[in-house]
Amino acid sequence: MSVQRETGPRRRRPATGSAADRQVATPEIRWTSVDQLSELAQALLSEDLGGREAVPRHVAERVRTQARAWAEHGFTAETVRPWLDLPPAAAAYLAERSVSPRVLELPYQVSRPGAPVALKVAIASGLLAVERAYDLLVATGEHRPAGAGPAPVGPAPWLLSGEVFGGNGATEQEATGAAEPRRPVAQVIFSHPTEN
């Protein structure tokens, strides 16, 4: 039986000694002090940096870019944190209309067999356009636009789907007084337990 030998350079096998013997060619991590970041960029960082006062340079660059995007939409270090689960443009759309960030946790029924997801997830994932979300918030009474008349009396609407609008069984046309019914509304749940 003949053994064929490889020709050319020999491949080096990894060393099995100490870590110093096995120096791997990894790029050196460069750090940026947190105090070199703007207040808005600092607000975008995790609240718990594990006691560090610096972040890797690539993280600093990423939050600087994000901070510029949030600032372009009018957010500050004081106003950005409750909106971080949304893209800046979607958050600005809702904030400009004085929508409370608390509504981002409301459940939204994506499909009948599936479990509801938080409204912020539906918007951020593109399942629900922010404009449609705003319309649903107004229609269900979860948000009242500035200058709107008195709050409607009666059971709070809890489900919008198809023709049934709200908890009283009225059609959307009857409930809104619209000349023509709008297109069917996607199923949405904004429910709160009733207090007895």
Structural contact between residues 64 and 98, judged by C-beta atoms closer than 8 angstroms: no
Rg (CA), the chain: 27
The pLDDT tens digits of the residues spanning 69-125 come to: 999 999 999 999 999 999 999 999 999 999 999 999 999 887 767 788 899 999 999
Residue with tokens 């809702």: 94
Look at residue 45 in the predicted model and tell me its pLDDT.
92
Share of the chain above pLDDT 90, in %: 46
Structural contact between residues 137 and 190, judged by C-beta atoms closer than 8 angstroms: yes
φ and ψ at residue 161, rounded to 5 degrees: -160, 135
pLDDT greater at residue 56 or residue 20: 56
The pLDDT tens digits of the residues spanning 147-182 come to: 766 655 544 444 333 322 233 334 444 444 544 444
For residue 171, the number of C-alpha atoms closer than 13 Å in the C-beta half-sphere is 11
pLDDT greater at residue 33 or residue 4: 33
Structural contact between residues 88 and 69, judged by C-beta atoms closer than 8 angstroms: yes
Domain segments of the chain: what residues? 29-84, 85-196
pTM for the predicted model, two decimal places:
0.63
Look at residue 111 in the predicted model and tell me its pLDDT.
72
